[in-house]
Structures are given as structure tokens and as C-alpha cells.
Amino acid sequence: MSAPTAGQLTIAGATVKLCETCGGAFVPRRSTARYCTSACRQVAYRIRRGAERDCGRWTARRAT
Ligand SMILES: [Zn+2]
């Protein structure tokens, strides 16, 4: 079988992963899933984009 990846656990035969945004445990529907919900995935995506383009941009837009 494939080697376990970081943040991935196997409990009672079920694969459980830890969400990279909130750190909560979840059962991924896909082996490539990294976030517990689509909301967490969007938060991580926004932060990543904001950090790459302009650190203050996203924060400034929310504060407006
Ligand atoms: Zn999450």
C-alpha cells in the first residue's frame, strides 16, 4: 500500500486527515483532499493568493 503522508491518520481502517486550515480531523472523500470543508479550502486559497500578490490587499478589501 502507499506510504502515509503528513497529517494523515488511519483509525479503525478509516483514513482521517487533518484540515490544513482549521486543523480539524475529517474523512477525505478523495486521497488528495486537504481541507475538511469547501469553506476551509476557500480560506486557504484566499490567504495563499493574498500572500503571493499583496499581503495587505485581501485584509484591506474586507475592512472597507
Ligand atoms: Zn477545516
What is the Cα–Cα distance from 29 to 26, expressed in whole angstroms?
9
What is the distance in A from the centroid of ligand 1 to the CA of 3? 23
What is the distance in A from the centroid of ligand 1 to the CA of 34? 9
Q: Which amino acid is at 38?
A: S
Q: Which protein residues have a CB closer than 5 Å to ligand 1 (ion)?
A: 19, 21-22, 24, 36, 40
Whether residue 63 has pLDDT greater than 60: no
Coil, helix or strand at residue 16? strand
* pLDDT (0 to 100) of residue 43: 93
Whether residue 56 has pLDDT greater than 80: no
Structure pTM? 0.60
Residue pLDDT, tens place only, 11-37: 788 889 999 999 999 999 888 999 999
